[in-house]
Every structure is written in C-alpha cells, then in structure tokens.
Structure 1
C-alpha cells in the first residue's frame, strides 16, 4: 500500500461540547450519519456520507478547573513521519500543542500551531487511512488557512511540508495556493475586517453539498450564522458559516461554477 502524500489533507475532526447538537446540525446540513462513540478514545465518533467515513466529532477532554476549548474544525495534513514533522514545526517557529503520539494501530498524530496562530493537525496513517471520500456531497473538498499574519504563515507551511507556492495575480485579494506537484492542496487567505476580532486564525474546511443555498437555509434554521456568501466562483458556489457551537466551516457546490479561473503566478 502506497504511503501518504506528504502534506496532503487527510482528515478533519472537531470538538463539540454538545455532541448530540452537533450530530443533529451536521446530520441535517450535510446528511451525515454517525458511528458509535468510541469510549476507549474519548467518545470519538466518526461521521459518514453515503457510508464513507468523511470526518469525526469528539467532546472536549476533561480539564481541571479550566473552561472547555472553543469548538473548531481541525484539518490534518498527512505525514510519513510524525516525529520528523514535529521537529520541523518547532524548528520553524511553530508550537506542538499535543503529541506526537500513537493512537493504537490507527496511526500517529500531533496537533500544532503555526507562528501566526493557526491550529492544525498532522496524521501518520496506520489502519485509519483518512478520508474515504472527497468532493462528493457531505465530504471534504478543500481547505483554506485564514491568518492575520500572512508573512509568518507563508514562511511556515512550505518549510514544514514540501509545498510549492503560487499567488493570485490580483491587487484586491491576498490569496495564495500551496501545491504538491501539479495539485493545489491548500489555500491561504489574509483575514480582513469582515472577520470579528474575537474569531482567531483558523483553517476553513469546505464540505461539499448539492445546493449551497438550501444547505444555508437548513443551517440557519438551527442557529448557524453566515460569515460570507453565498457567492459564485470558477470553483463552485460557496459560503462560510459559523455553526451553532462557534465552529467555522464552509459549504461548496462544485457543480455550479461561474467566471474565469484566476491567474496564478509563482511566489517570488
């Protein structure tokens, strides 16, 4: 079996204080079903789209006297050597928040934060190989790093992972693309004033839906807030939302495209 592609998105999960509320929300908005809570692993619960594992949710770990961390989606980037990834994170100004650690025979992981404050995960797969489906309704499709310190983020990720970097040739938008060979695997957007100051830097995980507007309607009925969109693009119609427990995520319909592809130029 071939090893993971270094730096490619491989999995996503989120911590929710109200697990039943999260199941109800994402089950309605994305059509997810859920497996049994794995009591040996902190009630980690996988989500499925059409029977394929596409993400997971988990309650926060117990803490002594401290408040539960805010709900947030975490994107995991693949690695063939999570220990080496941890060293690169530290050598390039990042912080390892958890791990590296083995998760039985499922794989090994760490949680890290880049110098600009963006939290992400690294996953070295064992028996758990990551996403079983992508870019189909209910499944992961794309992700973008939203940062207020673009210079630090831009220097960090290509130093930890073998990314090539391109930028959008536009004076109106500060957007870059991290690539693995010919494949674009991750975007980077500078956060502007449209983001309230209490929203920390984050990675927005895009989930595919058949109809963005209908999915937004279902989401807002449950108390979600629309951060931006819906808007059409050459990549699909998309929108960014804040779920009822405060986690940012995005929706995209990849079949509804409009406009010309942006010009990408190599980062100098």
Structure 2
C-alpha cells in the first residue's frame, strides 16, 4: 500500500513544538499526493495552513499559526493510493514492529531513519489496516492538535471491532485504557459509514468549527462529500475527499468520548 516513504514520514523540524507523546498516541499525519502544489492550495484554503519546505525528500510541512500539524509529500508511484496516514508514537520502533508481527500484523516498510528527525515505519494490523509508527529524535510530533484545522481524532473502520480491541489494546493498552488515557483513536465497523466491501482503514479527522458549513468549501475547492454529517460519541463528523481523492473526515468536536 505504500512505497518507501522514509523521506516524508515523521514530525516536523526542530524541538520546542509541543511535548513528547507516549507510546500508542497518534503523533503525526501525512498525505501522499500526486500534486503537492494542488494539495497546498486545497488545504491552505480549507484549514488556513501555511507550508514550509523540508530538507528531507521534498516534503512540505503544513503549519497552523506557525506550528506543524501535518506533512504533504509527492506520491512517486502512481499505483499507490492517495491517502492520509496516521502515525503512532513509540520509544522503541524495532520492538513495536516485532510485537505487531507477532500479533498477526505485517511490516510494510521496515523502520528507517528520517534524517535527524526520528525513525518511521509502515505496518498493518491483522485485518490489513495500514498505519505508521514514529520513534522521535529531533521532534516528537504535532506542534498543536485538538483544535480547528488540526488533527483531532483517528477512527479505525474495522471488520471485527472486538479483534481490533484485542490487537490495539495489547499494543497500546496504556494509551487506550490506562488510568491517565485520553485517547484520540476509536474503532467502529466499516459498514457503519462505508459500503461493506470497503477495506479496513484508518480515517484521519481534522477539527472544524462548523461541520455543515465546511462541506461547501470542500466542494468549491474540488473535493467531494463521501458521507454527509453524522453524529458520533466524539462529535459531528463528515467524510470527504480532497481534490486528488485522499479521504479524511472533518469533525465538529463536542465532548471527549468515554473511555
């Protein structure tokens, strides 16, 4: 599902943006796009992002009020899907990749350094849903999250949510179920929102102030609405695609979900 992405994965430049993320906490997102310039125009207008070129592999970091929130990278292999990927923090990426393999997942891209920023990998769960791992060095991840125009949630759409709970609970128990947990990651059946034949996948959610209103902007910019607004335990969400076909959700947050 993904090519060698070591040059584009991982958090942004320099330390001093936010604090470290514990193992199993979503800490970064990126999009692999055929046309990064078109992506900058779309997301810049939609979320108010500005952009900064990076020294690794031609990726650009998206900034919200000067703080890193995401990366856009050029998709070099046209056979690969245009997607948003969520990365989970870990202090031991090699050890976590081994645990994922032992629990029935797959390692798609082996752990690989990203300059002095850290080390990234792409993996799947036993159901085939792809996600990333990030072991930080110079930067831990998001400079800001849980605000409009930034990452607020990742939902795993799975065929078997009980099996997903077992797998991710075994990997990331403290982040999901620990006494101090404030998870930004949930699980739901694929058929709740998508056709039953849709493969299991993670859906990245970005915060918005008005879910209904933002859909007009998505359409005006060349995107489309996949699923109109619906209520969830964590707010009102809608699923959209950008002008190049990458799916994501917009979320008008209400209350934090019950653990």
Give the number of the structure whose alpha-carbon radius of gyration is greater.
1
State how 1:34-73 maps to structure 2 within 5 Å.
34-36=51-53, 38=54, 40-61=55-76, 63=77, 67-73=78-84
Deviation at 1:136, TM superposition (A): 1.6
Alignment CA distance shift 1:79-1:70 (3 Å):
same
Alignment CA distance shift 1:180-1:262 (3 Å):
closer
Conserved 8 A contact 1:6-1:80: yes
Conserved 8 A contact 1:4-1:80: no
| Matches of 1:242 and 1:231, distance apart in 2 | 16
Alignment CA distance shift 1:238-1:3 (3 Å):
closer
Who is 1:32 aligned against?
49
Q: Which deviates more from structure 2 when the two are superposed, residues 113-122 or residues 209-218?
A: 209-218
Who is 2:166 aligned against?
155
Who is 2:203 aligned against?
204
Who is 1:169 aligned against?
none
CA RMSD of aligned residues (A): 2.4
Q: Does 1:122 align with 2:139?
A: no
Q: Does 1:190 align with 2:183?
A: no
State how 1:257-268 maps to structure 2 within 5 Å.
257=254
Who is 1:79 aligned against?
90
| Matches of 2:61 and 2:258, distance apart in 1 | 38
Secondary structure, aligned partner of 1:35: strand
Secondary structure, aligned partner of 1:29: helix
| Matches of 1:185 and 1:212, distance apart in 2 | 18
Conserved 8 A contact 1:53-1:131: yes
Conserved 8 A contact 2:156-2:202: yes
Deviation at 1:76, TM superposition (A): 0.5
State how 1:179-258 maps to structure 2 within 5 Å.
179-181=177-179, 182-192=181-191, 194-196=193-195, 199-232=198-231, 235-254=234-253, 257=254
Higher relative contact order (Cα pairs below 8 Å, separated by 6+ residues): 2
Deviation at 1:160, TM superposition (A): 2.1
Secondary structure, aligned partner of 2:194: coil
> Which of 117, 123, 145 does residue 156 from structure 2 map onto?
145
Conserved 8 A contact 2:25-2:183: no
Give the structure-1-normalised TM-score: 0.81
| Matches of 2:196 and 2:235, distance apart in 1 | 28
| Matches of 2:242 and 2:65, distance apart in 1 | 22
